[in-house]
Amino acid sequence: MRHWRERIRQNNVGHALASAEATMNALPPSSPCGSSTQDRGNSSPPESSPRILILIPAYNAGSELDALLAQVANYHPKSHILVVDDGSTTTSYETIKASGFNVRRFPHAGKGAALQHGFQEAISHGYDWVITMDADGQHAPEDLPRFFELIRQGSLPDIILGSRLGDVRTMPHLRRLSNFLCTTIIRWTTRQPVIDSQSGYRAIRTTVLQNVRLNTSGFETEIELLLKAARQGFRIGSVPVRTIYVDVPSHIKRARDTYGFIRIVVRHLLHLDD
């Protein structure tokens, strides 16, 4: 099996990633996911815990991202948080950088491309897990300890989806419907107990990322990851998280992203994309 970095270099996404601006401090190599120096309660992993990178893809995120990062830093050391911003036209890159967070920047390439860049860094820096979070405040940092607890337990799935369906009253009807349809298809395709396939709040073992070859660069990358991981025998589980719908516009384009979803599922079922 070819190494992840060799594989990613060979697809289009890899070219965008290769040109990423890496002007911030390098992530610390092989350092444990330890305690933050700031107040974080008792739920952050201890020094002996698996090493975890929190990865936040951001595109034109504004003050929500600044607020999010300040909160996330209460649960996890800044040095193990990575923001990947592909070509935002806002000033978020400068402000995040000035606040001392790790941030990478490259020309606009899509959420999936940003995730793949972060995955690649997590692997090369020896992290055991990556937790991905949205930048717009829809994923509550208060739920991070739930992921930490599960990861600390050891015997658990390889992908843990933050599932928001406990309380969906704030979720727009159309999103609830699309999530239901998408999740039903993914559950049927993967034969795994997927509850919220569209959640970008998830913990992923880096072993999965080393073995799954991702070819997409948009929102469908998160679905592609589930499909391919399941096919390789990796286990998918869930943890309940808060459902938050804030007044921030979505970057999802209904026609484009529905097509992207159908395309990735069909290609997967036909084994066109292994």
Ligand X SMILES: Nc1nc2c(ncn2[C@@H]2O[C@H](COP(=O)(O)OP(=O)(O)O)[C@@H](O)[C@H]2O)c(=O)[nH]1
Beta bridge partners of 39: none
φ/ψ region of 121 (left if φ > 0, alpha if ψ in -120 to 50, else beta) reads alpha
Which of these segments, 129-137, 143-151, 168-176, 225-233, binds Mg ion (CB under 5 A)? 129-137
Judged by CB, which is closer to ligand X: 59, or 127? 59
Interface characters, 62-81, with ligand X (x: CB under 6 A): --------------------
Q: By CB under 6 A, name the one of 111, 164, 202, 205 that touches ligand X.
A: 111
Q: By CB under 5 A, name the one of 85, 121, 136, 222 that touches Mg ion.
A: 136
Full DSSP string of 167-212:
--TTS-HHHHHHHHHHHHHHHHHHTS--S-TT---EEEEHHHHHHP
Residue 57 is a binding residue for ligand X (CB under 6 A): yes
Residue 32's φ and ψ, nearest 5 degrees, are: -70, 160
First to last CA, the chain: 12
Measured N-to-C along each axis, helices 173-190 and 221-231 cross at an angle, to the nearest 10 degrees, of: 20
Residue 125 is a binding residue for ligand X (CB under 6 A): no
Residue 58 binding target from Mg ion, ligand X, none, CB below 5 to 8 Å by type: ligand X
Residue 61 is a binding residue for ligand X (CB under 6 A): yes
Q: Which residues bind ligand X (CB under 6 A)?
A: 57-59, 61, 84-86, 110-111, 114, 134-136, 138, 200, 250-252
